[in-house]
A and B are shown apart, each in its own frame.
Chain A
Amino acid sequence: DAGITQSPRHKVTETGTPVTLRCHQTENHRYMYWYRQDPGHGLRLIHYSYGVKDTDKGEVSDGYSVSRSKTEDFLLTLESATSSQTSVYFCAISVWTGPYEQYFGPGTRLTVT
């Protein structure tokens, strides 16, 4: 699992509330990613980070923000959760093996009611 943990693993929240998901890695890799996956679909990139305080948007970034104040933690925040953000969220890291490979965390299942 490349030392990736996500918390919480499950969360139910109400529309309009802020939510923060945490991704933690133990091996100080530079690149980290947040994806979301909706039923029957592949993963879509929300945001990614290429170092402390260096982040960029992915293809579905609206309604999400991220922060990375330490190498090991990458936080995803839903400023005001909506029902359309009900999804499974996966964190990933890139590991150099000549070339890069991505390793994924176990996922967080978020339900917005």
Chain B
Amino acid sequence: DAKTTQPTSMDCAEGRAANLPCNHSTISGNEYVYWYRQIHSQGPQYIIHGLKNNETNEMASLIITEDRKSSTLILPHATLRDTAVYYCIVREETSGSRLTFGEGTQLTVNP
């Protein structure tokens, strides 16, 4: 699986958009980009994934650059409950393939 690089920490004001970057310059053509988050002491929670196109769901938007070497997770209106560690993971979509977690980005949403 391709390695990812994320900032160690970020801050965001409540109600503003949180934009979390991820670099994955060695991503291959059949690897997806996944985002998970982990709120303190809880199990990681799936947020969103994408292959080439931008994606949006009820939680977030995922913007993938045209060359697929980087992506941005956008939380459009961050709340205090969005404070968590956010993990960007790239992997092939083989059957049941496991996730390789890096250190992630600690997002702190401030009142």
Name the contact of B44 in the complex, choosing from A30, A43, A99, A100 (C-beta under 8 A).
A43
Question: B68 at the A/B interface (Cβ < 8 Å)?
Answer: no
**Given A42-B104, A44-B101, are A105 and B96 also a contact pair (CB < 8 Å)?**
no
Name the contact of A94 in the complex, choosing from B41, B45, B96 (C-beta under 8 A).
B96
Residues from chain B with a CB closer than 8 A to the CB of A104 are: 43-45
Total A-B residue contacts, Cβ distance less than 8 Å: 55
Question: B102 at the A/B interface (Cβ < 8 Å)?
Answer: yes
Residues from chain A with a CB closer than 8 A to the CB of B45 are: 104
Give Cα distance in the complex from A105 to B45, angstroms. 10
- Interface SS of B by simple majority: loop
Residues from chain A with a CB closer than 8 A to the CB of B34 are: 101
Q: How many residues of B contact A (CB 8 A)?
A: 22
B93-111 contacts to A (CB < 8 Å): 93, 95-104
Give Cα distance in the complex from A105 to B42, angstroms. 8
B25-70 contacts to A (CB < 8 Å): 32, 34, 36, 41-46, 49
Residues from chain A with a CB closer than 8 A to the CB of B43 are: 90, 92, 104-107
Report yes or no: A30 in contact with B96, Cβ–Cβ below 8 A: yes
Give Cα distance in the complex from A42 to B88, angstroms. 11
Residues from chain B with a CB closer than 8 A to the CB of A88 are: 41
Report yes or no: B103 in contact with A41, Cβ–Cβ below 8 A: yes
Report yes or no: B96 in contact with A42, Cβ–Cβ below 8 A: no
Assuming A42-B102, A42-B104, what are 11 further A-B pairs, CB within 8 angstroms? A35-B101, A41-B103, A42-B101, A43-B44, A45-B98, A90-B43, A99-B49, A100-B97, A101-B46, A101-B49, A105-B43
A residues adjacent to B (C-beta < 8 A): 30-31, 33, 35, 41-45, 48, 50, 58, 88, 90, 92, 94, 99-107
B residues adjacent to A (C-beta < 8 A): 32, 34, 36, 41-46, 49, 87, 93, 95-104
